[in-house]
Amino acid sequence: MYLLDLQGVSKIYGSVKALQGIDLTVARGEWLAIMGPSGSGKTTMMNIIGCMDKPSEGKVLLGGVDISAESARNLTTVRREKIGLIFQQFHLINYLTALENVMVAQYYHSMPDEQEALQALARVGLSDRAKHLPAQLSGGEQQRVCIARALINYPMLVLADEPTGNLDEANEGIVIDIFRKLHDEGSTIIVVTHDPEVAEEAQRTVILEHGRIARIVENRKGGQEAKV
Amino acid sequence: MRNGVLNKVIAMFWRLVRGALFRQKRKMLMIAFTVALGASLATAMLNVMLDVGDKVNRELKTYGANINVIPKEASLLDDLYGVSEGRGVSDRHLRESELGRLKTIFWAFNIVDFTPYLNAEARMSGLDEAVRVVGTWFAHREDLPTGESLDTGMRNMKSWWSIEGDWLSDGDTDAAMVGGLLADRAGLAAGDAVVLESAGARRELTVKGIFEAGSAEDERIYVPLSVAQEMTGRPGLVSSVEVSALTTPDNELSRRAAQNPKSLSVKEWETWYCTAYVSAICYQIEEVLTDAVAKPIRQVAESEGTILEKTKLLMLLITILSLAGAALGISNLVTAGVMERSREIGLLKAIGAGNAPVSWLILTEILITGAVGGAAGYFAGLGFAQIIGRTVFDAAINIKPMVIPLVAILVFLVILAGCIPSIRLLLSLRPAEVLHGR
C-alpha cells in the first residue's frame, strides 16, 4: 500500500485549472521531488497533499485513508498528526525562541516537552542556539529550526516547500544533508523545488507543466547515493 | 503525572500569550486605553446614576415642599367643595407641639425640612381691604422626640425668594416680611412701620424685609408663628404644614397605594411602606399627626420623578454610547492586529492548531489587556464621578461597590463584542492562503 495515492486530482479556481487529473503514488520511505515552472501547479499540489486545501475532483489517499472529502476540522487533525511542514519563508514565530518555536508544534499536537524539543534541535545541529530568537539566527539556522519543528511529532510525511529557496550554498548543503539523514532513517519526504540540484537528491522527480504531470524522472543520485 | 502534563500545557499557553502581549506593546496599550476610556465613563456614569437620586432630590428640594399637611376636616371640605379657606375650614387646626413627630416616621431621614403656617385675616394700615397674615417658622430649631434637634423653617424652604432687606428670625416678634405686590400697593419699604388689626387686637410691626416669590405669596404678610397665634388667639395651633421630603419616583404600586392602601396585599403593602414613595411618606405622616391629612403636591412630586428618570436615562444612554464606542475601537484594533498576525495565525493552523485554541489565544490576550485597561478605567471613572459630583451637585458622589461587578461584566461583554469581527476574520483565515501570500 502506498503512503500517498493521488487519483485523478484536479483543482479548479474559477476558470483556472491549477491541477488537472493528477495520478501519483508515493511509497513509504520514498523521497520525491516536485519541479516545474511558476504557475505549473506545484504549490497547489503541495497544499492538497499537505491538507491545507481540497481537490475539486479526484481522491487523495494518505495512509490508505481518503482525505479529499474531509472537513476543515478533520484536515487540521490530519496535518497535526501526520504531516510535517517545512516552508521556504521558515514562518517562525518571532517572539518565541528557537526552542519554543519547536515546542509550539508539540503544544498543538500533544504536550510540550522541552527535552524532546532540545533533542530535535540537536538533530539539526542547533542545540547551542535553542534560546535564540529567530531574529538572532541566520537564514540557514531558521530553516533548521523549521525542520526541527516539522519533525518533532514524528510525522508520516515530511512536506517541504522550496526548503532551500532562501538559503546560500553552504546552508543549502546543510539542509540537504539533513534530508538525506531523514531519508536514511526511513522518513517519507516530498520536496517542492525550483532547483534541479535539490531535485536530483530525491529518488524521483515529478515534472509539472500547466497543472499536469509532464514526466517523472528516476534520479540516479537520489536515495542511492545517500544509502551508500 | 496528569498535573505535570497540564502544567506544561498551561506554561506553553502563557509563553504564547506573554510573547504576544510584549511583542505588540503599542497595540495592546491602545486597546487597554480604549477599554479604560469606556470603563471610566461607565464607572463615572453608573456611580453618578446610582447616587443621583438623592442628589437631584436634594437639588429639587430647594424649589419647595412636595407634601402639604392639613387638618382632616379641612381636607374633606377641600375635596368635596374645593374650599380651602373660610368658616369651618379655618376652625380646624393641627397641633404645633406634634410637629417634631414628623422626624420619627419610618422615612424620618427623608424629611428634609418642614414649616407650619397659621393663616389669619387682618386689616393693614394704608389699605382698605383685609390682607392675609401668615405666621410661620423662619429659622426654627425644633427639639425632636428622639432627643436630636432640627433647624428648619421658611428660610430653608423658600430659598429662591428674592429679599429686599432681611429675613425674619423667630424672635422678631415686632417685625414682618411683606410680599412685593402688597408692599407696592401699600407703599411700604424695608424699615417702615405697619399696623395690623385682627379680631380687636392691634399690633404695630416693622417691615424687616420685602420679598418676591412670584406667586400668591407676594400678596401676604409673614410674621413669626407666635405672633400669628397671639393675634388669632390660637396658641399652639397651626393651619397647615409644608413638608419637603426626599422621595422615590412613583410607579404602579405607589399609585394604587395612593388611591387605597388597603387594596394592597400584605407583601405589596410592606414593599410600599418601606419604599420612600411620596404616598408612603404621606401615610406615615398621617400616622403620627392627630387628625391630619398629608397630600402630595402632585406637580412637584411628579416633576421630581420625571426629572430624575430623565437624568438617569440620559446617563444610561451616555454609558451605553461610551461602551459601544469602546467596542468599536476594540473591534478595529483587534481586527487590525489579527490581520497583521495573519501569517502567524496561519502557521499555527498549518501545524495543527484548531480554530478554538487560536481564538482562545487571541481572546486571552485581549481579555488580559482589557482587564488592565478596565481596572485603570475604573479608578479614573471614580475620579470623573467626583468631578461630576462637585461640578454639578456641589457634593461628593458616594462610591457604590456594586458598580465594580457591573463594570467588570460590561467590560467583558464589550471586549467580547469588540472581538467578534476579528474572531470571524481569524476563523476565515486559510493557512494555504496566508502562508503563500495568496
Neighbours of A23 (CB within 10 A): 11
The x, y and z cell numbers of residue A200, run together, are: 536530483
Together in a domain, B71 and B147: yes
> What's the whole-number mean pLDDT along residues B343-371?
91
- From the list B9, B347, B354, the residue facing A107 with the nearest CB is B9
Nearest chain B Cα distance for residue A108, angstroms:
5
Q: Does A104 touch chain B (CB under 8 A)?
A: yes
CB A145, CB A114: distance < 8 Å: no
Quote the ipTM score: 0.89
Q: Looking at the structure, do residues B245 and B170 belong to the same domain, yes or no?
A: yes
Q: Which residue has the cell 368635596?
A: B80
pLDDT at B214: 83
Across the interface, whether the CB atoms of A108 and B432 are under 8 A apart is answered: no
CA-wise closest residue to B35 among B337, B327, B382: B327
Q: Is the pLDDT of residue B169 over 90?
A: no
With pLDDT > 90 as the criterion, what percentage of chain B qualifies? Answer: 28
**Same structural domain, B15 and B96:** no
Residue in B20, B22, B351 nearest the CB of A108 = B351
Q: Do B8 and A113 touch (CB under 8 A)?
A: yes
| pLDDT given at position B88 | 46
**Helix (H) or strand (E) segment spanning residue B9:** helix B2-23
**Residues B276 and B330 sit within 8 Å (Cβ to Cβ):** no
DSSP H helices in B69-134: 72-81
Each of the 228 residues of chain A gets a pLDDT tens digit; together they read 789 999 999 999 888 899 999 999 999 999 999 999 988 999 899 999 999 999 999 999 999 899 998 898 899 999 999 999 999 888 999 889 999 999 999 999 988 899 999 999 998 899 999 999 999 999 999 999 999 999 899 899 999 998 988 888 888 888 899 999 989 988 999 999 988 989 999 999 999 999 999 999 998 766 544 332
User: How many angstroms separate the CA of residue A224 from the nearest CA in chain B?
Assistant: 31
Contact B399, B382 (CB under 8 A): yes
Question: In chain B, whose CA is at the least distance from the CA of A110?
Answer: B9
Q: What structural domains does chain A harbor?
A: 29-54+71-227 (3.40.50.300)
Per-residue pLDDT, B61 = 63
Residue of B80, B383, B69 whose CA lies nearest to B243 = B69
Backbone phi, then psi, for B267, in 5-degree steps?
Answer: -65, -45
Classify residue B43: in a domain, yes or no.
yes
For residue range B230-263, what is the model confidence (pLDDT) as tens digits?
A: 888 889 999 999 998 888 877 888 888 878 888 8
Answer whether A103 sits within 8 Å of B13, measured CB to CB: no
Answer yes or no: do B283 and B318 share one domain. no
Interhelix angle B25-61/B2-23, nearest 10 degrees = 80
Assess contact for B55 and B389: CB atoms under 8 A.
Answer: yes
Q: Are residues B164 and B206 in the same domain?
A: yes
Total domains, chain B = 2
- For residues B166 and B312, membership in a common domain is answered with no
3-state class (DSSP) for residue B227: helix
Interface of A with B in 30-59 (CB under 8 A): 43, 47, 50, 52-53
Residue type, B384: F
Of A95, A101, A106, which to mutate for an interface test with B (greatest number of B Cβ within 10 Å)? Answer: A95
Q: For residue B374, is it within any domain?
A: yes
Is B291 found in the same domain as B313? no
For A133, nearest residue in chain B (alpha carbons): B19
Pairing relationship of beta strands A4-13 and A16-26 according to DSSP bridges: antiparallel
Question: Residue A111 is nearest to which of B5, B343, B436, comparing CB atoms?
Answer: B5
Q: Which domain holds residue B369?
A: 2-58+306-435
Residue B357 distance to chain A (closest CA, Å):
9
DSSP string, B372-413: HHHHHHHHHHHHHHHHHIIIIISSPPPPPTTHHHHHHHHHHH
Asked if B324 and B287 sit in the same domain, the reply is no
Q: Do residue A93 and residue B347 have CB atoms under 8 angstroms apart?
A: yes
User: Directed axis angle between helix B355-388 and helix B25-61, to 10°?
Assistant: 40
> Is B354's CB within 8 Å of A85's CB?
no
Both B257 and B195 in one domain: the answer is: yes
Cα separation, B122 vs B119, in Å, equals 10
Both B91 and B141 in one domain: the answer is yes
Residue B86 in any domain: the answer is yes
Q: Could you read off the pLDDT of B171-228 as tens digits, one per residue? A: 888 999 999 999 998 888 888 888 888 877 788 899 999 999 888 889 999 999 999 9
Nearest chain A CA: its distance from B369 CA (Å): 18
Answer whether B209's CB lies under 8 Å from B163's CB.
Answer: yes
The pLDDT value given to residue A75: 93
Sign of CA dihedral A217, A219, A223, A227: positive
A154 touches chain B (CB under 8 A): no
Residues B312, B285, single domain; the answer is no
> Does B351 contact chain A (CB < 8 Å)?
yes
Q: Is the pLDDT of residue B86 over 70?
A: no
Quickly list H helices, B62-173. Answer: 72-81, 154-157
Q: Is some CB atom of chain A closer than 8 A to the CB atom of B5?
A: yes
Are B436 and A96 a contacting pair at CB < 8 A? Answer: no
Residue B155 has pLDDT above 90, yes or no: no
Q: In this model, does residue B298 exceed pLDDT 80? A: no
Task: Assess B356–A contact: CB distance below 8 Å, yes or no.
Answer: no
Same domain, B70 and B191: yes
Give the whole-number percent of chain B exceeding pLDDT 70: 92
Q: pTM of the full predicted structure? A: 0.66
How far CA B422 is from CA of B188, B225, B326, in Å, comes to: 78, 74, 15
Closest CA to B119 of B196, B219, B228, B210: B228
**In chain B, whose CA is at the least distance from the CA of A53?**
B432
Domain-terminating residue out of B258, B278, B296 = B296
A94 Cβ under 8 Å from any chain B Cβ: yes
Q: Is the confidence at residue B75, as pLDDT, over 70?
A: no
Task: Compute the nearest-CA separation of B377 from chain A (Å).
Answer: 29
Strand-strand pairing, B220-224 and B94-95: unpaired
Residues of B in contact with A109 (CB under 8 A): 352
Comparing CB atoms, the residue among B20, B346, B350 nearest residue A79 is: B350
Residue type, A219: N
**Whether B8 and A47 lie within 8 Å, measured CB to CB:** no
CB contact under 8 A, A96 and B354: no
Q: From the CA of A112, how many Å to the nearest CA of chain B?
A: 6
User: Would you say residue B214 lies in a domain?
Assistant: yes
Nearest to A96 among B13, B19, B353 (CB): B19
The reply to whether B301 falls in a domain is: no
C-alpha cell recorded at residue B3: 498535573
The number of C-alpha atoms within 13 Å of B48 and in the hemisphere containing its C-beta is: 31
Chain B residues inside the 8 Å CB shell of A81:
352
Instruction: Kindly state whether residue B118 falls inside one of the protein's structural domains.
Output: yes
Contacts of B10 in chain A (CB under 8 A): none
DSSP B210: E
B17 has a chain A CB within 8 A of its CB: no
H or E stretch including B223? Answer: strand B220-224
Q: Do A53 and B432 touch (CB under 8 A)?
A: yes
pLDDT at position B301? 65
Last residue of a domain, one of B227, B262, B296: B296
**A-chain residues within 8 Å CB-CB of B350?**
50, 52, 79, 85, 91
Q: Is B1 on the interface with A (CB under 8 A)?
A: no
Q: Please indicate if any CB of chain A lies within 8 Å of the CB of B8.
A: yes
* Residue B21 belongs to some domain of the structure: yes
Domain end marker among B250, B266, B296: B296
